[in-house]
A and B are shown apart, each in its own frame.
Chain A
């Protein structure tokens, strides 16, 4: 036997020719992130067919592995090929892992049309995205018809899955109990298909009916939302892996979502190298005030493209000549620009094609924006901007990142860690706002002495965020209504509420931020905003909620607020923001 190949390019060629040993070895290098494997990824072939990448997630015990096994059987019965990537958590203490998903799939172990690979999350938290994403990209391009990615589900892995798949399936077992409601709420908005597994068990029909009802309520809100982007509603299906019922229907639903090969929007597993931009001609330069409007156009076009790629048919279109829209967003832009630490543009032939901006607050830095025009993505411009503005210099770092997979991979690779996912919750302000506890009073900020107010706010921020940020509070105070929460003479929190001056024209009620030193005050703080909105007859309020904030999530879901699409991930290095005591300001440019 000759010496086995170790060069990833050689392994890839062998894998594409059907050599399973070579594919196994290549995936190990991808998983380990060897320099040679990382260099290979942008060179993956982009021509020809690629697999339909399907993520399957849900809480432990929901029956994901059995469902994957049943799907593999159904796909093989049709003569098609399939790869499975089964991700299990690593022990955070020892780094070891038990990868046991294969137990339910071993009947397919010898089938040459099936390739099953187990992966340990290696303690990366949301950083799961990096290695899983890369492995999925390889599997999608070596000739399989379908790639199934199974992730265990309590919080982080499944979020990562939603960013890297064409189709996301959330599996729920009947009778999983109330405590998964919050998790479910976050997951459902990412699901294209919701499967109630174990359909042979009692309670399955009721569970499916409850899920359908919950999703229908959302659809009613959609109609009230006008032209703002909102999500497609997932299908809810019943399936039993043991009895085989519902599997054919599930596979048909999956296949209906297969991206067509000639649809440019189908490249949701990002394929670097697709850009025609010659990166060597791109120059980086400092941004100035004169660039404001061009920069805003880059942000809006990039966001519009991303939303469309993620299945929001309406996107978020922007006409660069729309003065009113620019006027609406300009104040927050100017605040970020005037308080930026670094603002760098990427220019090609005298035209800006991307930019990045950071701010510093106290000892911490935040990447507020990094956007590259859609047609210039994949040429390494984003990585260059990131290298210029946000490498590790020892200070704590924060990013509120979109779910764009290549951007996430980039951020996770430079050492940031997923802390929580943030979603917009919105709806008419509830009629029964929670009062603050009797020993806490809400003091309007405009009645406070300015210097004492800044110190009070800084005391709260020191606990909740770990930084002092007077500059933001001065801006918030000038554009929003605010209160400090006071208990026994000490500041224990603050609350900002819309409708503020710059969103008034759009009629949307952006709220926040809220910070409280005691998590039990979260509900009363939101109640303050609700009461304020009702007093103003605002039709709708919007709050940016870290899903890790159990009190806020439960409070809002119980009152019928719905979750908007387009989650953000809070990435930190090191983690320090207390998500159970903080609701982000919206729009979420900085925490």
Chain B
């Protein structure tokens, strides 16, 4: 099953409605051979985790520009762990100050991609860090 595409959920938690970056990333990852579930804007952490569960994704990619990352992102990772999905890779992108990154990573968030990151870098990171799949 090594050929199966990696399945990624791209979600925008929080209240900002700017989804251009998320859509560009979704298309870019599609072109890199990923299967990308896109759910649109204004997703709560609970919606994101329920979606990850139903879709059985390998990766949750969170795009956040609203400044609420220190609240929302740890909420997603802790809900995932509660639901037995602690092995799902969580990454973040958007506007996140460098000073906040250690706190996010301590909460279980993987790489935090700042503005200017290329799609290729994201794809390479995901391929290298995604959990192995059963079956």
- Chain A contacts to B: CB under 8 angstroms: 1, 4, 6, 20-21, 23-25, 27-29, 32, 34, 36-37, 90-91, 94-100, 102-103, 106, 109-110, 115-118, 120, 122
Indicate if B29 sits at the interface (CB-CB under 8 A).
yes
Indicate if B20 sits at the interface (CB-CB under 8 A).
no
Q: Which residues of B (41-86) have their CB < 8 Å from a CB of A?
A: 43, 46-47, 50-51, 53-56, 81, 83-86
In the bound complex, do residue B54 and residue A6 qualify as a contact, i.e. CB atoms below 8 Å apart? no
Indicate if B39 sits at the interface (CB-CB under 8 A).
yes
In the bound complex, do residue A91 and residue B47 qualify as a contact, i.e. CB atoms below 8 Å apart? no
Closest to A95 in B: B33
- CB contact between A6 and one of B43, B84, B134 (< 8 Å): that residue: B134
- Complex A-B: 27 CB contacts under 8 Å: A21-B53, A21-B85, A25-B134, A29-B135, A32-B1, A32-B135, A34-B135, A36-B135, A37-B135, A91-B30, A91-B31, A96-B5, A96-B29, A96-B30, A96-B35, A97-B5, A97-B35, A98-B30, A99-B38, A99-B55, A102-B39, A102-B40, A103-B38, A103-B40, A109-B54, A116-B54, A118-B37
Tell me the minimal C-beta distance from A21 to chain B in angstroms.
Answer: 5
Closest to B52 in A: A24
In the bound complex, do residue A94 and residue B33 qualify as a contact, i.e. CB atoms below 8 Å apart? yes
A27 touching B56 in the complex, CB below 8 Å, given contacts A106-B51, A109-B50:
yes
Tell me the minimal C-beta distance from A549 to chain B in angstroms.
Answer: 32
Indicate if B104 sits at the interface (CB-CB under 8 A).
no
Closest to B82 in A: A1
In the bound complex, do residue B55 and residue A106 qualify as a contact, i.e. CB atoms below 8 Å apart? no
In the bound complex, do residue A1 and residue B84 qualify as a contact, i.e. CB atoms below 8 Å apart? yes
Contacts of B109 in A (CB 8 A): none
In the bound complex, do residue B53 and residue A20 qualify as a contact, i.e. CB atoms below 8 Å apart? yes
CB contacts between A and B, total, < 8 Å: 101
In the bound complex, do residue B5 and residue A95 qualify as a contact, i.e. CB atoms below 8 Å apart? yes
Contacts of A29 in B (CB 8 A): 134-135
In the bound complex, do residue A24 and residue B55 qualify as a contact, i.e. CB atoms below 8 Å apart? yes
Contacts of A96 in B (CB 8 A): 5, 29-36
Main secondary structure, interface of B, reads mixed
CA distance A117 to B50 in the complex (A): 11
CA distance A99 to B29 in the complex (A): 12
Indicate if B127 sits at the interface (CB-CB under 8 A).
no
CA distance A106 to B39 in the complex (A): 7
In the bound complex, do residue A99 and residue B1 qualify as a contact, i.e. CB atoms below 8 Å apart? no
CA distance A295 to B8 in the complex (A): 51
- CB contact between B47 and one of A37, A97, A110 (< 8 Å): that residue: A110
In the bound complex, do residue A120 and residue B51 qualify as a contact, i.e. CB atoms below 8 Å apart? no
Q: Which residues of B (5-42) have their CB < 8 Å from a CB of A?
A: 5, 7, 26-27, 29-40
Tell me the minimal C-beta distance from B88 to chain A in angstroms.
Answer: 11
Contacts of A36 in B (CB 8 A): 135
In the bound complex, do residue A102 and residue B53 qualify as a contact, i.e. CB atoms below 8 Å apart? no
CA distance A118 to B84 in the complex (A): 21
Contacts of B33 in A (CB 8 A): 94-96
In the bound complex, do residue B47 and residue A115 qualify as a contact, i.e. CB atoms below 8 Å apart? no
Instruction: Given A97-B5, A98-B27, output 14 extra A-B contacts at Cβ < 8 Å.
Output: A21-B85, A24-B53, A27-B56, A32-B1, A95-B5, A97-B30, A97-B36, A98-B30, A98-B38, A99-B35, A106-B43, A106-B51, A110-B46, A110-B50
A1 touching B37 in the complex, CB below 8 Å, given contacts A106-B43, A110-B47:
no
Contacts of B54 in A (CB 8 A): 20, 23-24, 109, 115-117
Closest to A100 in B: B38
CA distance A20 to B85 in the complex (A): 12
Tell me the minimal C-beta distance from B72 to chain A in angstroms.
Answer: 16
A21 touching B83 in the complex, CB below 8 Å, given contacts A97-B30, A102-B38, A109-B50:
yes
- CB contact between A4 and one of B27, B32, B46, B84 (< 8 Å): that residue: B84
In the bound complex, do residue B4 and residue A32 qualify as a contact, i.e. CB atoms below 8 Å apart? yes
Contacts of B81 in A (CB 8 A): 1
- CB contact between B56 and one of A1, A28, A97, A109 (< 8 Å): that residue: A28
Tell me the minimal C-beta distance from A23 to chain B in angstroms.
Answer: 8
CA distance A56 to B6 in the complex (A): 27
10 smallest beta-carbon distances between A and B, as pairs: A24-B56, A6-B134, A96-B30, A103-B40, A34-B135, A109-B47, A94-B33, A96-B33, A28-B56, A99-B37
CA distance A196 to B32 in the complex (A): 37
Closest to B46 in A: A110
Closest to A114 in B: B54
In the bound complex, do residue B55 and residue A117 qualify as a contact, i.e. CB atoms below 8 Å apart? yes
In the bound complex, do residue B36 and residue A99 qualify as a contact, i.e. CB atoms below 8 Å apart? yes
CA distance A21 to B50 in the complex (A): 9
CA distance A90 to B4 in the complex (A): 12
Contacts of B50 in A (CB 8 A): 20, 109-110
In the bound complex, do residue A94 and residue B31 qualify as a contact, i.e. CB atoms below 8 Å apart? yes
Contacts of B30 in A (CB 8 A): 91, 94, 96-98
Contacts of A4 in B (CB 8 A): 84
CA distance A122 to B35 in the complex (A): 9
In the bound complex, do residue B35 and residue A94 qualify as a contact, i.e. CB atoms below 8 Å apart? no
CA distance A117 to B7 in the complex (A): 12
Contacts of B55 in A (CB 8 A): 24, 99, 117-118
Contacts of A117 in B (CB 8 A): 54-55
In the bound complex, do residue A6 and residue B56 qualify as a contact, i.e. CB atoms below 8 Å apart? no
Tell me the minimal C-beta distance from B123 to chain A in angstroms.
Answer: 10
Contacts of B56 in A (CB 8 A): 24-25, 27-28
In the bound complex, do residue B51 and residue A109 qualify as a contact, i.e. CB atoms below 8 Å apart? yes
Contacts of B7 in A (CB 8 A): 28
Contacts of A109 in B (CB 8 A): 39, 43, 47, 50-51, 54
Tell me the minimal C-beta distance from B92 to chain A in angstroms.
Answer: 20
Tell me the minimal C-beta distance from A195 to chain B in angstroms.
Answer: 24
In the bound complex, do residue B31 and residue A102 qualify as a contact, i.e. CB atoms below 8 Å apart? no
Contacts of B51 in A (CB 8 A): 102, 106, 109, 116
Contacts of A32 in B (CB 8 A): 1, 4, 135
CA distance A356 to B84 in the complex (A): 49
